[in-house]
């Protein structure tokens, strides 16, 4: 009985092949089925992989490239403004409007540690993606009083990663719309250290600040104080005070004002991942990865960029 059944099955297969060859069509293949649970697991693993790969790319390459490109654009813009005499001299621009966050306000050079940075207005996480940031409730460098500048310890170029290595007497040069000012370092302060002597009347002080502790697990703030070696100049009234400075511009603060954008990008990533899994089973693995990989990486980088706004601004 079993021999007859086997022979009949073989005859059926042979007949199917003969018909397919005669009609020019391919015999239908049995479709493989994948359980819903397996597809969900694959989707979760793919999302984790994309976010992890995007984070690694952002930390090692993309963030640094973005920072360098932003600095070049800011340098060109600030140099043009200096030449035209329209560089900011206070809290407003040459038209009398309040400076927007991200506008270039100074050019900082620290020869001892090789720092050359265009300083932007504002100290939010997104402001410090582009370079060092001027705290808006303080005067500009070179003016009477204390000017505070934040810089990142590790992310997006880590512009202030080495300021803790500065020694007393090292020079810091700041170029603004009011001239070139040279400061001499008084010392480096960590959390709990004694404050420097009070600034003398008519003097100007520059304080640099970055994250302390581990580069990617920051705690506390490292500060470098420097006094002007020369004559300070007057500046206009500040539009923001220490009391009205937004919380996201304080040291070690994150910026959650664009949390909605992170949610949207996560939704976009979920849609792309679902489409990728569907395509994987519909068209095949190789074809899917060729088409989907660039899109997955792009959306993953956008997710990470929005997530980075939530991290401490000087990390």
Residue 64, domain CATH: 2.40.260.10
User: How far is it, in rounded angstroms, from Cα 136 to Cα 147?
Assistant: 9
Whether 184 is covered by a domain: the verdict is: yes
Length of the chain: 315
Whether 267 is covered by a domain: the verdict is: yes
At 17 the pLDDT is 40
pLDDT 10s digits, 176-202: 999 999 999 999 999 888 888 899 899
Instruction: With a cut of 60, say whether residue 30 has pLDDT above it.
Output: no
Residue 34 pLDDT class (50, 70, 90 cuts): low
**DSSP 3-state percent helix, strand, coil across the chain (nearest 5):** 40, 20, 40
Longest dimension (CA), the chain: 111
Whether 14 is covered by a domain: the verdict is: no
Question: Contact at 8 Å (CB) between 74 and 122?
Answer: no
pLDDT 10s digits, 262-314: 999 999 999 999 888 888 778 877 888 888 888 998 999 999 889 989 989 99
**Four-point Cα dihedral 155, 111, 103, 199, nearest 10:** 100
Whether 147 is covered by a domain: the verdict is: yes
Whether 4 is covered by a domain: the verdict is: no
Whether 1 is covered by a domain: the verdict is: no
If we measure between CA atoms, which residue out of 63, 162, 151, 69 comes closest to residue 106? 151
- Phi-psi sector, 202: left (phi>0), alpha (psi -120 to 50), beta: left
User: How far is it, in rounded angstroms, from Cα 294 to Cα 278?
Assistant: 17
pTM of the model: 0.82
What element of type H or E holds 146?
strand 145-150
Range of the domain at 253: 34-315
Q: What is the mean pLDDT of the chain?
A: 86
> Domain count of the chain?
1
- Other Cβ atoms closer than 10 A to 99: 19
Whether 3 is covered by a domain: the verdict is: no
Whether 20 is covered by a domain: the verdict is: no
């Amino acid at each position: 009985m079993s021999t007859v059944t086997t022979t009949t099955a073989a005859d059926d297969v042979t007949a199917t092949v003969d018909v397919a060859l005669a009609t020019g069509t391919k015999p239908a293949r049995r479709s493989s089925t994948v359980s819903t649970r397996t597809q969900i697991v694959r989707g979760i693993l793919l999302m984790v992989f994309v976010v992890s790969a995007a984070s690694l790319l952002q930390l090692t390459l993309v963030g640094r490239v973005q920072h360098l490109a932003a600095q070049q654009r800011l340098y060109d813009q600030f140099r043009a403004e200096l030449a035209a005499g329209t560089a900011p001299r206070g809290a407003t621009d040459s038209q009398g409007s309040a400076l927007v966050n991200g506008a270039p306000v100074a050019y900082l050079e620290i020869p001892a540690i090789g720092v050359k940075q265009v300083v932007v207005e504002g100290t939010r996480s997104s402001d410090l993606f582009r370079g060092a940031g001027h705290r808006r409730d303080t005067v500009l460098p070179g003016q009477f009083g204390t000017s505070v500048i934040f810089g990142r310890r590790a992310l997006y170029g880590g512009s202030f990663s080495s300021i803790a290595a500065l020694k007393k007497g090292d020079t810091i040069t700041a170029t603004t719309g009011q001239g070139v000012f040279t400061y001499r370092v008084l010392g480096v302060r960590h959390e709990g250290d004694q404050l420097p002597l009070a600034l003398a009347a008519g003097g100007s002080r520059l304080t640099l600040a970055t994250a302390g502790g581990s580069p990617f697990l920051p705690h506390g703030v490292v500060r470098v104080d420097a006094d002007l070696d020369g004559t300070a100049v007057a500046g206009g009234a500040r539009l923001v005070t220490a009391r009205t400075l937004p919380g996201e511009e304080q040291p070690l603060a994150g910026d959650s004002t664009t949390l909605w954008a992170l949610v949207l990008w996560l939704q976009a990533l979920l849609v792309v991942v679902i489409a990728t899994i569907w395509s994987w089973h519909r068209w095949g693995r190789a074809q899917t990865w060729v088409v989907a990989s660039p899109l997955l990486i792009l959306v993953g980088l956008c997710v990470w960029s929005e997530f980075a706004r939530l991290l401490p601004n000087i990390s």
